[in-house]
A = this chain, B = another copy of it.
Amino acid sequence: MRSPTAILQLICPDRPALVSELSGWVAANGGNIVHADHHSDPGAGLFLSRIEWQLEGFGLPREAICPTAHALAQRLGGVYKVNFSDYRPAAAIFVSKQDHGLLDLLWRTRTGELPMQVPLVIGNHPDLQPIAEEFGARFEHVPISKANRAEAEARQLELLADHGIELVILAKYMQVLSPDFLKRFDPPDAFHQVINIHHSFLPAFQGAQPYHRAWERGVKLIGATAHFVTEELDGGPIIEQVTVHVSHRDEVDDLIRKGRDCERLALARAVHLYLRRQVMVYRGRTAVFD
Residues of A within 8 A of B (CB): 15-21, 23-24, 26-28, 30-40, 57, 99-100, 103, 107, 111, 113, 134, 201-205, 217-221, 223, 237-241, 243, 245, 247-249, 257, 260-261, 265, 268, 283-288, 290
Between A and B, 15 residue pairs with Cβ closer than 8 Å are A16-B33, A19-B19, A19-B33, A20-B20, A20-B26, A113-B260, A203-B219, A217-B238, A217-B285, A218-B238, A220-B239, A221-B223, A221-B241, A248-B285, A261-B265
Which one, B111, B249, B265, contacts A39 given CB within 8 A? Answer: B249
In whole angstroms, how far apart are the Cα atoms of A57 and B16 in the complex? 10
Other contacts beyond A20-B28, A204-B204, A248-B287: 19, CB < 8 A:
A16-B30, A16-B31, A16-B33, A17-B27, A17-B32, A18-B33, A19-B26, A20-B26, A20-B33, A23-B23, A33-B38, A36-B36, A36-B37, A103-B103, A113-B260, A134-B134, A201-B201, A201-B221, A203-B205
Chain B contacts of A219 at CB under 8 A? 202-203, 238, 241
Are A37 and B40 neighbours in the complex by a CB distance under 8 Å?
no
* A265 → chain B closest CB, angstroms: 6
In whole angstroms, how far apart are the Cα atoms of A204 and B202 in the complex? 7
Are B30 and A24 neighbours in the complex by a CB distance under 8 Å?
no
Are A36 and B16 neighbours in the complex by a CB distance under 8 Å?
no
Chain B contacts of A40 at CB under 8 A? 34
Which one, B23, B240, B241, B261, contacts A19 given CB within 8 A? Answer: B23
Closest 6 CB pairs of A and B: A218-B285, A20-B27, A17-B27, A20-B23, A204-B204, A248-B287
Chain B contacts of A23 at CB under 8 A? 17, 19-20, 23-24
Chain B contacts of A37 at CB under 8 A? 36-37
In whole angstroms, how far apart are the Cα atoms of A99 and B218 in the complex? 29
Chain B contacts of A218 at CB under 8 A? 237-238, 283-286
Chain B contacts of A35 at CB under 8 A? 38, 249
* A172 → chain B closest CB, angstroms: 13
Are A220 and B241 neighbours in the complex by a CB distance under 8 Å?
yes
